[in-house]
Structure 1
Amino acid sequence: MGTTKARDYMFDTFRGLLMLSIPMSHFTKMTGNLYSELYLNGSFPKDSLFGFVYITINVFVMQAFMFLSGFFSKKPERARQTAWSTFMWPYLVFTFLYFFVRWGFFGNAHLTFLSPPFALWFLWALFFYRFFLIDMVKFRWLLPVGLILYFVAGMVQEWGDFLALGRVLSYFVFFLFGYYCSKERLAWFQQLKTKKGILVILAAVLVASSILLCKFGPSVGWYLLRESYHSYHMQLWQDVLLRLMVLVLSTGWIILMINIIPSKKGFLAYVGANTMPIYMFHLTLRYVIEFKGLYVGFVACLVVAWFGILGIIGQKMKHKGVYIACIIISAACAVALFASGLLKSWYGLCPHSIVLTYILCYAGAIMVGIAFVSPFWIKLYDLLVGGTGKLPQLTRWLKGPGYEAED
C-alpha cells in the first residue's frame, strides 16, 4: 500500500505570518499618523519604530503573497477555472458591500468596479494573473517582460488606481517568480537551513537595509508601488534604483522565511489556511477606526481585544449558536456604545508615551488578526461569497459534530 505524504505546513505558516503582517502594517500607519499629529511635526514618523515596521513589512509582504500564489498556480488550466470563484466573485461582492460601508459610515460613496476600493486590488490582480496565465505562459519571454513592466509601472503617471494598473504591473513579476520556481529550485534555496551563519548574515543585511530606508528612503507611501515617481517628487533614476532595491530585498526576505519558518502545524498555519476573512473584514474595521478617529484610544483597543478573545474562545466552543450570539450581541453593544456619544471624549486619545503607544498599536493589530480568523467570520465569508449554496454547510456547522455524523 502507498503511504500518504505528510503535509508541509511551511506554506500555510508563511501565509499566516504574511496575513497577520497586513493589519500590523495598517495599524502602524494609522497610529504613526495620529501620534505625529498630536506630538510631532504632523507627518508620519518614518525614522522610528513605526517607520521600521511599516517599511520592513511593505518591502516584502505583498511580493511574498504573489510569489506563493504563483508557486501554487503550476496548472494554468486549473488556475483559470478557479479564478472567477476565488478572486473575481469575492471582488465584486465586497466592492458592492463596501459601497454601503462608505455610504453608511462616511455619508458619501461612489460605486465603481474599475477602481478597486480599499485594498481589493489584490483580488483583482490575482484574478488577472490566474485567468490569463494559460495564455501568457505561451510567450517565451514572459518573465523578462514582467521584469520590465515592474520598472515601467513606476514611470507612467496615468497608471494608478484605475484597474489598479500601478500595482497589477508592479507585482506581476513576483507572481511569475513563483510560477517559474520549481519544487526542486525551492528545495535548493532551502538548503540554507543547514547554514545558520549565512541566514544570520542575510537577516542582518535585511534589517540594516530597513534602517537605512527609514533614514534615507522615500516617503512610506511609495512602498505600496501604486503610483509613479512623479507623485513623490522623485527623479526617474531614483525610482528605478529603489525598485531594484525592493526587488532584491523582497527576494532576500522570501529566501530567509522559507528557511526559518517551521513545517509543523500551528496557529499561524491555521491563519494561513483562512487568510481571506482577515483580509476582507479587517479593512472595514481599519477605515472606520481611522476616519471616525477612534484609534489609538483605550476604548477602541479594548473593543478589538474583546473580539479577539471571542475569536480564541470560539475556536474551542462546541455550541456554535452560543458563540455566534456572543459575537452579535457584542457587536450590537459596541455600535450602541459608540453611537451614544458617551465615549466621544475618549476618541483619538493617544498616550504621550511612545512605548505605550507601540504596545497599544501592535497588541491591537494582533488581536484584529485573531478576531477575524475565528469560525464566525470564516463562515460569514463563505456565506457571502458562496451564497445560499453554503447554507447546508453552515447548518451542519451550527449543529456540531454529532449532527454531521448522523448525515
Structure 2
Amino acid sequence: MTNSQRPYGNSRTPLPPARTPEDSRPAPGGRRRDAFFDNAKYLAIVLVAVGHAWGQILHDGAVETAYRVVYTFHMPAFILISGYFSRSFDLRPRHIQRLITGVVVPYVVFETAYSLFARYGNDEPERGITLLDPTYHLWFLCALFVWRLTTPVWKTIRHPLPVSLVLAALGSVSPQIGDDLELQRVLQFLPFFVLGLTLRPEHFRMVKRRSVRLLSVPVFVAVAVAAWWTIPHLRLGWLYHSDAAQELGAAWWAGPLVVAATLGCSLVTTVCFFAWVPRRRMWFTALGAGTVYGYLLHAFLVRAGNYTDFYDQPALREPLGVLGLTLFAAAAVTLMCTRPVQRALRCVVEPRMDWAFRQDAGGAVRVRERPRTAEVRAPGEKVSV
C-alpha cells in the first residue's frame, strides 16, 4: 500500500479550490501521493494498535463490543488497499526483488526479534525461532507475500472474486491446513485482496459521497448492536479467520455460512470506514507513509504488557483506565510511524539490497525508454500497511 496511481507530468488545469498544493505534493522520486490513502492507512494502523490493546482487557461488554466492531474492518481495509496497489505487480525481477526486501526481509528480522523477546523477556528458554509459525500480527507479511506472488493468477482468470470466495469457504472447512504460515488467514482474507485488485479509482470516489457517509452512521450503530448481541454466541475466532469451523466447535457446514456472513459484514463496515476517511491533507497524512513501521513495532509494547502482567491492573477495569490505555496505544503507534523511526529502521524494514541480486540490464533499459507519463509506481516496490 504505497503511492497513488496519479500520472506524471505537469497539468495546466488549476487545482480545485478545496485543495492546497500540499494535498498533492510529490512523494520521493517525484510521484504524487493521494492523501486519502495515506489518511486511511494511518487511521487503520491506529485502530490496529488500539484493537490489540483492547484485546488484552476483554472483561467488559462495552470494550468487547468496540473490539468486535473494529475487528470487522481494520485488517480488511489494509488488505483491500494492499490489493488495490498490487494491480501492477507481476513477476519481473524488479518486483520480486522489492517483494523480498519489503516483505521477506522484515518478516525474518521481526519474527526473530519477537521470538528472542519472548525467550528473554518472558523467561521462555525453550522458545525457539521458527519462521513457519508467525508471531501474533506478523501473519500479515506471510499473507501479503503469498497474495502478491499469486497476483498474476488473479489478473489472468475471468472471475477472480468468486474463485477467491470459494477458496475462503474451503479454508473454513479444512482444519488439516494447520498453522504453518497462517494459511487459514491467507485463504479466508483472500477475497479482500482480490477485490482490491479489481477496484479502480472511480470506486473509491463513490464511497466518498456525502450520502454514503451519512448512511454509514446508522450502519455502524447496527453493527455495534449486532456485535454486542453476538458476544455470547459468536467466538472471536470467526473474526480472526485463523481457524476452521471444526476448530471453533461448529459443524463443518457452518464454516462457509459464517465466513460469508463475516466477510459481508466486513465489506460493509470497510466501506463505511472509507466514507469517513478525510480526502484532504491532514496533520497525520505524512504518517501514512510509515504505517509499516508502526505495524511491525507496536506489538513489542503489547507483548511487554503481557509479560509484566500490566493488563491485570485494577485501573484497567475502570472507564478512565480503558480510555488511558486507548490514548496510549494511539499515541505510541503514531510515534512509531514518524520520520525519525523510519530513518533509524529503514535498513531492516525497507533495505536496499542491490548487492544480493543480479543486475537486470534489460529492465534498466526498459525503464529509461518508458515515457514518464505512462509510468506508475509498481506496488511491489515498497510495502507499507
Query: Which TM class, normalised by the smaller chain length?
Result: 0.7 to 0.9
1:91/1:120 contact within 8 Å kept:
yes
- In structure 2, the partner of 1:372 is 336
1:224 aligns with 2:240: yes
Quick one: distance in 2 between partners of 1:211 and 1:349?
Answer: 25
One-letter amino acid of the structure 1 residue matched with residue 243 of structure 2: E
1:80/1:133 contact within 8 Å kept:
no
Residue by residue, what CA displacement relative to the aligned partner does 1:219-276 show, whole Å, maximum 9, x if unpaired? 2233111011222212234433322221121111222122222112224323321111
Quick one: distance in 2 between partners of 1:385 and 1:196?
Answer: 35
Matched residue of 1:158: which SS?
A: helix
Matched residue of 1:219: which SS?
A: coil
One-letter amino acid of the structure 1 residue matched with residue 239 of structure 2: Y
Residue pairs, 1:184-263, within 5 angstroms = 184-191=202-209, 193-194=210-211, 197-214=214-231, 216-263=232-279
Residue by residue, what CA displacement relative to the aligned partner does 1:117-172 show, whole Å, maximum 9, x if unpaired? 22111011111111231244222233211101112221111224212111010111
Shift of 1:11: 1.1
Name the count of aligned residue pairs: 323
Distance 1:231 1:357, change over 3 A: farther
The structure 2 residue matched to 1:182, chosen from 169, 179, 200, is: 200
Residue by residue, what CA displacement relative to the aligned partner does 1:350-375 show, whole Å, maximum 9, x if unpaired? 22752133223212222221332233
Distance 1:360 1:97, change over 3 A: same
Higher helix content, 1 or 2: 1
Task: Tell me the TM-score normalised to structure 2 length.
Answer: 0.76
- In structure 2, the partner of 1:62 is 75
Distance 1:257 1:170, change over 3 A: same
Q: Decide which moves more: 203-212 or 61-70.
A: 203-212
1:70/1:177 contact within 8 Å kept:
yes
2:154/2:194 contact within 8 Å kept:
no
Larger RCO: 1 or 2 (CA < 8 Å, sep 6+): 2
Distance 1:160 1:271, change over 3 A: farther
1:275 aligns with 2:291: yes
- In structure 1, the partner of 2:136 is 118
Residue pairs, 1:68-217, within 5 angstroms = 68-77=81-90, 80=96, 82-106=98-122, 107-108=124-125, 109-191=127-209, 193-194=210-211, 197-214=214-231, 216-217=232-233
Shift of 1:30: 1.1
1:271/1:373 contact within 8 Å kept:
yes
Task: Tell me the TM-score normalised to structure 1 length.
Answer: 0.73
In the alignment, structure 2 segments of 5+ residues that lack a partner are 1-9, 16-23, 25-32, 355-385
- In structure 1, the partner of 2:41 is 15
CA RMSD of aligned residues (A): 2.5
Quick one: distance in 2 between partners of 1:132 and 1:244?
Answer: 22
Quick one: distance in 2 between partners of 1:387 and 1:97?
Answer: 17
2:101/2:353 contact within 8 Å kept:
no
Quick one: distance in 2 between partners of 1:188 and 1:79?
Answer: 30
Quick one: distance in 1 between partners of 2:160 and 2:191?
Answer: 9
Residue pairs, 1:367-406, within 5 angstroms = 367-386=331-350
2:104/2:141 contact within 8 Å kept:
yes
Residue by residue, what CA displacement relative to the aligned partner does 1:329-383 show, whole Å, maximum 9, x if unpaired? xxxxxxxxxxxxxxxxxxx422275213322321222222133223332223202
Distance 1:142 1:112, change over 3 A: same
1:2 aligns with 2:11: yes
Quick one: distance in 1 between partners of 2:272 and 2:52?
Answer: 23
Quick one: distance in 1 between partners of 2:351 and 2:267?
Answer: 39
One-letter amino acid of the structure 1 residue matched with residue 228 of structure 2: I
